[in-house]
Structure 1
Amino acid sequence: MSKRNSKLFFMYLLIFSLVFSSFAGLGGAVSIEESSQPNVYLDVDPTSADLITVIVELEEESILEAKHNGNFQSAELLEAERQVIIAEISKVANVTVGQEYDYVFSGFSLEIAENELHHLLSIAGVKAVYENVEYQVSSFDVDFETVSPMMMDSAPFIGANDAWEAGFTGKGVTVAIIDTGVDYTHPDLAHAFGEYKGWDFVNNDADPQETITGLLSRRTNHGTHVAGTVAANGEIKGVAPDATLLAYRVLGPGGSGTTQNVIAGIERAVLDGADVMNLSLGNTSNNPDFATSIALDRAMADGVVAVTSNGNSGPNDWTVGSPGTSRQAISVGATMLPYNLYSAGIFTSEGVDYPSSAVMGYPSEDELLALTDGEFEFVWVGLAGTAADFAGKDLEGKIALMQRGDYAFQVKAENAKAHGAIGAVIFNNQPGVQPEIPGTPIPMIMTSQEDGQKLQAELEAGNNMISFDIEFVKEVGETMANFSSRGPVMGTWMIKPDVSAPGVAINSTVPLHHASGPHTHGYASLQGTSMAAPHVAGAAALILEAHPDWSVDFVKAALMNTAENLFDADGNLYPHNSQGAGSIRVLDAINTEILVTPGSHSFGIFTNMDEREVRSQSFTIHNVSNERKRLAIDFTGHEGIKVTTSKNLQIQPGRTQELNFNVQVDTRKLDPGFYEGTFILTYGNQKVEVPTIVFVQIPNNVNLATWQSIGISGGNVVGNVSLPFGADVFDVRIRSEATGELLRVIPSGTNLTAGTYGIVWDMTVNEEALAPGRYQVIAYVKKGNREQEIIGGTLNVN
């Protein structure tokens, strides 16, 4: 099994190689029983003395968690509890404490050797241990000077200018930018900052400025760009130009940082009174129970609208990463604004066809169409990634022929432009399709690998002239960016993203610190879900100004309920797990009269394969108008999924009503997988759509069990196995690694509920000590029609 399979939890996987010379004192006891050990979400090598940093969560509730549960908690009590646990681990291990948390998260970060981590797991009061994963800003550079003016219109496109005309500009609303810092001296941003500007968790001071010194590759501009999309008011105008900003620098040089600072930034922003927070950062863990996701859930519970990017690992399903996996925060996918679609034909000599040729990207329509004006010489530049690829070659006014691979498309295009090329043809390095890349520095035409080889053959034959036939095909509406990560979320089975917003070639502010560098103008165009999220954060600020008494759930619902459906270039509706509820429209969200919470719904997993299965569920409808509303209700989806509910509903002004319904899933008509559907609520000429998702059988890419710990204690192999779905049958099997022969089955449990179970094996087979060899310790689980064996570790006996 892959050490990092896609699964519900990160595994605490102790792959151990132990040598035994005797087995004195071994008994015959073996068992499986429920375990109370902490959950552990990381991989560890217990033989390594390398230092690692982990995030420790305590059993004691955080202040916000206690408040939400109706309990009392104080910073003093939490400090005392932390000190008790720190003192206990310090008795047996050399540790260094980093950040400490008590408001949105109860715990601390700790530096400890890998081979001493097991001591921490035996201390009472420890609830969970998380990996201190690295977070990276997720955006891509686009040459500012060649960005189409169309790309400057993202805020007006979502209706921000309509909201301004209605009197809503974000005034009185505070937005926290949790990122790489912000250049608060930028002329378009200075108005948004007061004397207190936030906090720098990288340098631990009150100056959250971007990284502006050192190597150019280490300097950052991401946080300033994000801040400009939210609240710039100058040459660039953000979505909420009169909002107040606070900056929290949690990502340092190069735009990277770790969990311990991200949680600290979330906590500080809540304590500082932020109304909205934006986190344009992420990792690849599809886990709703990761520490940063939990922190955002609790921030939302305290009334702070948390907005986060969904990730740039698309377009496949299941690619959303934490904190985009948060149950409560608003996760945002990225879209591309409407554009004109062009076809691109290539001609080099009679009898040679290039049927795969298409437009990859271009800086402006004029420059693209200029390729139709005559013939051009084309020059082979290989991968176009280094100076050596261009050495001794004249590209002035010519076309660069290059191959995909090793370097980003943008880098290749920039290099070709720097050497005088006015266009490029790039062919694939493998069978398949290349992506469209909007806003490339020079027009780029892409072809298949086969057609690229034809072009190379033409050059070898001396046919080095090329001409193009570029023709307008049609206008394409707003579409999902190919890179935007997709849901669903493992464990909660939620649809993600929640909404989408423009995130391709977004022009915004960057620091003014590079006097001799490429950003002296103070603006740049970037793309990524990092650029989409601040559009939503700014929209949330406008909504809160318009409705200061609205809860975070109302703000989220308003954005989701009024979002526009998105269709691909061929007119096909995008799946919910690509676009969420759709692309946001700010003024519609402000003016909506009906709110449905939550804004999307997961029916969960149906595993009964022998008959129809029926469940009763509900969501809530709020009439926020001053008039009675009569709603017509309908549901569309797969024929094997039927929803029964009232066809009509009347809600009095200012009142709330539950919409109860039964969902019937006929698994006999459905293959295993997930299926989407939509509730449609109509009132007058208004319509609210609520995306839904249902799972038939446990998804094949989700493990039925995860080892949370395994090791040796008292002459026994002991471990903990999490069963997130329960099990019809569960046992632990011992196999010969060499032959795969099943040597022993530790007594099985049947019809187990979801939970964590401890196992003990006395390291005997047939009541005899193990002979020399290598033995695998394996968890076997059967649930429904699925069976799975998951290796916990390998025991080496000499």
Structure 2
Amino acid sequence: MKNGMIRFLLLSFVLFFTLSTSITGVQAVPASKEKSPDLEKAEVFGDIDMTTKKQTTVIVELKEKSLAEAKDAGESQSKNKLKNARSKAKSKVAKAVKNGKVHREYEQVFSGFSMKLPANEIPKLLAVEDVKAVYPNVTYTTDHLKKKDITIAQDAISPQMDESAPYIGANDAWDLGYTGKGMKVAVIDTGVEYNHPDLKKNFGPYKGYDFVDNDYTPKETPVGDPRGEATDHGTHVAGTVAANGTIKGVAPDATLLAYRVLGPGGSGTTENVIAGVERAVQDGADVMNLSLGDTVNSPDWATSTALDWAMSEGVVAVTSNGNSGPNGWTVGSPGTSREAISVGATQLPLNEYAVTFGSFASAKVLGYDKENDMKALNHKEVELVEAGLGEAKDFEGKDLTGKIAVVKRGNIAFVEKADNAKKAGAIGMIVYNNYAGEIEANVPGMSVPTMKLSLEDGETLVKNIQKGDTKATFELTVSKALGEQVADFSSRGPVMDTWMIKPDISAPGVNIVSTIPTHDSDNPYGYGSKQGTSMASPHIAGAVAVIKQAKPKWSVEQIKSAIMNTAVTLKDGDGKVYPHNTQGAGSARIINTLKADSIVSPGSYSYGTFLKEKGKETKKETFTIENQSSIRKSYQLEYSFNGNGITTSGTSRVVIPARQTGKAVAKVNVDTKKAKAGTYEGTVTVREGGKTVAKIPTLLIVKEPDYPRVTSIDVSEGSVQGTYEIETYLPAGAEELAFLVYDQNFEFMGQAGIYKNQDKGYQYFDWDGKINGESKLPAGEYYMLAYAANKGKSSQVLTQKPFTVE
């Protein structure tokens, strides 16, 4: 949300709570206020609306252990035994539940099935003794940025993978003979155009499976599918992993398997994602990549659980961390998985430019392109052409060849405005704000050099153009040379409940050019630029394939720890080290990992929460150090934390013989008198022979964590005309929850409802469309804001798009 808007909304809360004291009735009614006693018999995640007869799909986990879970526990298990257990459970469910229908069944990394049933029958399902837990069938989407006017970097066409793959050390690994050969990498995504010339040799006769259309041709959604938009995401991801043609992926000789779990428009659900993970394990994948996610910060969603068990089966699961940054606590499932490698996105080094033109003091560079293009524009007199909002229709009939487009923010993404300008022949673009003040976004990677202005300066510029003053000269200078930076959009941890550091590792994810289908029959195979943690994750999946080829005896835990141990620590533009929950262990470097002869596990660690009100509280963790060299080694360890009242101690020296393993204990002590409430970071530094072997990120939280009290809100049409359903997610419940309505100009209209003591998870409310319990909203488009307070802290979130009142 825009900072200016946040300030405005906070001021509105003063008005809101003044108004609320005189209102005794509320018009919205919680869809689920009381739970049946049967709910205690099985755990339910997400607080699914169980008062409606609406058909709902859920994921049912059984008490009978999956093949992977039983194997990990050292227990005997078989497919036949699991089949019988499912049959028994399904029979009981059929007797208990009306109008239920089982869809997909799982046994490899998840024990249970997906099921469609009336929502108000779920309490009966929970009472079936064989049922362990019930999860919502949440929607997953691709973790790349597209068609959304948000204040972060977006798609662009420029830096290619021939920069990002070598940057993380792929070329160096190839020179050593490690190209991913013999490794199978599963791409669990929107499908793959496996006939693309750059990908064809990576696929064998068996391509994978399509869980959307239930066949053996897991291709992308084509143009014209009545169910939704065409896709190209999975093909782009596959190219980053293993393309071997015009573009070279990180592991160009790896074998690819495609599992289409996201359908038209790049959207899919839990039941297909789990099915894709299961099939990938069964098909013998060595690595799997999931560049997808939702916004729910919880470690226990069914998909995250499935990935944890896939890792236990020896399949390295790599997943994107999400694109909801830069705030903390924004990581979403399956990036919240305890075991899988979650990947954040970075931007390769670049020069930051400053711009001066005319008397416009607010002028700044919004996006970067090729440096030669920036230099070509420097001191060049150009013609300015006003082009509305920068939509395609705004360029119709206008000659922009060699000129600069001047457009207003709004309606479509910055990147789309730039793309439209480029198509019209423009060599640059100026975009001005659509509300008072400057555009706070910094969006590297536009398709043309782009400058930004405040609303006031923009309106002045447009008036000048309309008067005939259409010439301008830009002075562009390098203001700062930036190293590899974490992308603003990259989601941050920690994870709720486990308090784990996420991401685990970072990799390039800004402006990555890779393979795509063009959906043009005359020229079906092409290349496109995308960005997001979706693009970072396959860099690591490819890196893992290379590492696994080179180190075939390494376990999944060793691979994860080694790639984290050998990462490069990243610093922001001011030279400050990024927090652990921003960069993870740092930016991956394949060659460093291949040369490592010591591994420290785990690769990061959270000591969790310290909640004592008085006195001191101590916790400890044991770290394993593996000496994989042929000589005896002596390791020195240092411990640190960044807060007052927190002290550290532990094993200071460990001597480990060749090819043996040693252990070190790290302790933290929190003095509640000195340590203020908050999240604190620490580091376990391991050195050998004067060389740093690893820097292990650690974390602890003093008192109540500062997680967001509300993370999402959506407003949809209700079952009765003129009514609405409000859906919101409360990570740990709320002592107070309020819904506020704003018009399109973000003027406060009134409240939709106030509630007390709401449960954690998804909550649903019926709303009759009235504000302040009195008057109906006039026809138009509106935004709704959810405000939640819990345990002395509060937060707020706005609907991503307006809802319509007719």
- Are residues 741 and 236 of structure 1, via their aligned partners in 2, closer, same or farther at CA, if it must alter by over 3 Å? closer
CA distance in 1: counterparts of 2:412 and 2:213, whole angstroms: 33
Q: Secondary structure at the match of 1:139?
A: coil
In the other structure, the counterpart of 1:265 is 276
Q: Structure 2, unaligned stretches of length 5 or more?
A: 1-28, 148-152, 711-729, 736-751, 762-788, 796-806
CA shift, 1:420, in A, is: 3.0
Amino acid at match of 2:676: D
CA shift, 1:211, in A, is: 2.2
In the other structure, the counterpart of 1:289 is 300
- Are residues 367 and 612 of structure 1, via their aligned partners in 2, closer, same or farther at CA, if it must alter by over 3 Å? same
CA shift, 1:437, in A, is: 2.5
**Is the counterpart of residue 678 in structure 1 residue 678 in structure 2?**
no
CA-to-aligned-CA distance 1:764-787 (integer Å, 9 cap, x gap): xxxxxxxxxxxxxxxxx998x899
Q: Secondary structure at the match of 2:185?
A: strand
Q: Secondary structure at the match of 2:561?
A: helix
CA-to-aligned-CA distance 1:178-237 (integer Å, 9 cap, x gap): 111112212221222112221111111122222235259722211111111111111111
CA distance in 2: counterparts of 1:177 and 1:386, whole angstroms: 34
CA-to-aligned-CA distance 1:153-182 (integer Å, 9 cap, x gap): 111110111111112111111111111111
Q: Secondary structure at the match of 2:648?
A: strand
- Are residues 43 and 603 of structure 1, via their aligned partners in 2, closer, same or farther at CA, if it must alter by over 3 Å? closer
Contact kept? 1:274, 1:304, Cα under 8 Å: yes
Q: Secondary structure at the match of 2:517?
A: coil
Amino acid at match of 2:173: A
How do 1:26-45 residues align onto structure 2 when only pairs under 5 Å count? 36-45=40-49
CA distance in 2: counterparts of 1:701 and 1:570, whole angstroms: 27
CA shift, 1:637, in A, is: 2.5
Amino acid at match of 2:180: G
**Is the counterpart of residue 337 in structure 1 residue 348 in structure 2?**
yes
CA distance in 1: counterparts of 2:703 and 2:616, whole angstroms: 13
In the other structure, the counterpart of 1:214 is 224
Q: Secondary structure at the match of 2:182?
A: coil
CA distance in 2: counterparts of 1:646 and 1:671, whole angstroms: 27
CA-to-aligned-CA distance 1:623-655 (integer Å, 9 cap, x gap): 111111111211233242211013222111111
CA shift, 1:739, in A, is: 14
Contact kept? 1:306, 1:329, Cα under 8 Å: yes
CA shift, 1:69, in A, is: 1.0
CA distance in 2: counterparts of 1:373 and 1:54, whole angstroms: 61
- Are residues 161 and 403 of structure 1, via their aligned partners in 2, closer, same or farther at CA, if it must alter by over 3 Å? same
CA shift, 1:513, in A, is: 4.6
CA shift, 1:582, in A, is: 0.4
- Are residues 215 and 206 of structure 1, via their aligned partners in 2, closer, same or farther at CA, if it must alter by over 3 Å? closer
Could you say which structure has the larger radius of gyration? 1
CA distance in 1: counterparts of 2:572 and 2:321, whole angstroms: 19
In the other structure, the counterpart of 2:249 is 238
**Is the counterpart of residue 486 in structure 1 residue 512 in structure 2?**
no
In the other structure, the counterpart of 1:98 is 103
Q: Secondary structure at the match of 1:636?
A: strand
CA shift, 1:34, in A, is: 12
CA distance in 2: counterparts of 1:72 and 1:610, whole angstroms: 47
CA distance in 1: counterparts of 2:144 and 2:754, whole angstroms: 46
**Is the counterpart of residue 180 in structure 1 residue 190 in structure 2?**
yes
Q: Secondary structure at the match of 2:608?
A: strand
CA shift, 1:386, in A, is: 4.7
CA distance in 1: counterparts of 2:494 and 2:505, whole angstroms: 13
CA distance in 2: counterparts of 1:522 and 1:547, whole angstroms: 34
- Are residues 643 and 51 of structure 1, via their aligned partners in 2, closer, same or farther at CA, if it must alter by over 3 Å? same
TM-score, scaled relative to structure 2: 0.80
Q: Which moved more, 1:641-650 or 1:327-336?
A: 641-650
CA shift, 1:259, in A, is: 0.6
How do 1:147-226 residues align onto structure 2 when only pairs under 5 Å count? 147-148=157-158, 152-214=162-224, 218-226=229-237
CA distance in 2: counterparts of 1:258 and 1:545, whole angstroms: 33
**Is the counterpart of residue 378 in structure 1 residue 384 in structure 2?**
yes
Q: Structure 1, unaligned stretches of length 5 or more?
A: 1-12, 19-30, 348-352, 705-722, 731-737, 746-754, 757-780, 789-798
In the other structure, the counterpart of 1:720 is none
In the other structure, the counterpart of 1:507 is 513
**Is the counterpart of residue 636 in structure 1 residue 640 in structure 2?**
yes
Contact kept? 1:596, 1:621, Cα under 8 Å: yes
In the other structure, the counterpart of 1:316 is 327
- Are residues 239 and 390 of structure 1, via their aligned partners in 2, closer, same or farther at CA, if it must alter by over 3 Å? closer
How do 1:406-421 residues align onto structure 2 when only pairs under 5 Å count? 406-421=411-426
**Is the counterpart of residue 15 in structure 1 residue 31 in structure 2?**
yes
Amino acid at match of 2:312: A
CA-to-aligned-CA distance 1:649-677 (integer Å, 9 cap, x gap): 21111111221122111233333221111
- Are residues 215 and 437 of structure 1, via their aligned partners in 2, closer, same or farther at CA, if it must alter by over 3 Å? farther
How do 1:590-629 residues align onto structure 2 when only pairs under 5 Å count? 590-629=594-633
Aligned residues between the structures: 696
CA distance in 2: counterparts of 1:474 and 1:787, whole angstroms: 37
Amino acid at match of 1:510: I
Q: Which moved more, 1:507-516 or 1:126-135?
A: 507-516
**Is the counterpart of residue 275 in structure 1 residue 280 in structure 2?**
no
Q: Secondary structure at the match of 1:557?
A: helix
Contact kept? 2:432, 2:455, Cα under 8 Å: yes
CA-to-aligned-CA distance 1:290-349 (integer Å, 9 cap, x gap): 0000000000011111100001111111110000000000000011111122111121xx
- Are residues 185 and 424 of structure 1, via their aligned partners in 2, closer, same or farther at CA, if it must alter by over 3 Å? same
Amino acid at match of 1:673: G
**Is the counterpart of residue 570 in structure 1 residue 574 in structure 2?**
yes
CA shift, 1:597, in A, is: 0.9
Contact kept? 1:146, 1:364, Cα under 8 Å: no
How do 1:773-792 residues align onto structure 2 when only pairs under 5 Å count? none
CA shift, 1:433, in A, is: 4.5
Q: Secondary structure at the match of 1:163?
A: helix
Contact kept? 1:481, 1:504, Cα under 8 Å: yes
Q: Percent identity?
A: 50
Q: Secondary structure at the match of 2:391?
A: coil
- Are residues 362 and 521 of structure 1, via their aligned partners in 2, closer, same or farther at CA, if it must alter by over 3 Å? farther
**Is the counterpart of residue 127 in structure 1 residue 132 in structure 2?**
yes
In the other structure, the counterpart of 1:663 is 668
Instruction: Work out which of the residue numbers 496, 520, 530 in structure 1 matches 2:502.
Output: 496
Instruction: Work out which of the residue numbers 390, 402, 417 in structure 1 matches 2:407.
Output: 402
CA shift, 1:147, in A, is: 3.8
CA distance in 1: counterparts of 2:318 and 2:232, whole angstroms: 20
CA shift, 1:81, in A, is: 2.3
- Are residues 57 and 163 of structure 1, via their aligned partners in 2, closer, same or farther at CA, if it must alter by over 3 Å? same
Instruction: Work out which of the residue numbers 337, 346, 367 in structure 2 matches 1:326.
Output: 337
Q: Secondary structure at the match of 1:644?
A: strand
CA distance in 2: counterparts of 1:226 and 1:739, whole angstroms: 43
CA shift, 1:616, in A, is: 2.8
CA distance in 2: counterparts of 1:69 and 1:115, whole angstroms: 35
Q: Secondary structure at the match of 1:692?
A: strand
In the other structure, the counterpart of 2:478 is 472
Q: Which moved more, 1:272-281 or 1:77-86?
A: 77-86
Amino acid at match of 1:255: G
Contact kept? 1:144, 1:525, Cα under 8 Å: no
CA shift, 1:392, in A, is: 5.7
CA distance in 2: counterparts of 1:700 and 1:319, whole angstroms: 12
How do 1:384-395 residues align onto structure 2 when only pairs under 5 Å count? 384-387=390-393, 389-390=394-395, 393-395=398-400
CA shift, 1:394, in A, is: 4.5
Instruction: Work out which of the residue numbers 548, 568, 580 in structure 1 matches 2:552.
Output: 548
Amino acid at match of 1:411: E
- Are residues 50 and 372 of structure 1, via their aligned partners in 2, closer, same or farther at CA, if it must alter by over 3 Å? same
**Larger relative CO (CA 8 A, sep 6+): 1 or 2?**
1
CA shift, 1:452, in A, is: 2.6
CA shift, 1:525, in A, is: 1.5
CA shift, 1:685, in A, is: 4.3
CA distance in 1: counterparts of 2:168 and 2:219, whole angstroms: 29
CA-to-aligned-CA distance 1:18-46 (integer Å, 9 cap, x gap): 9xxxxxxxxxxxx9999842121234444
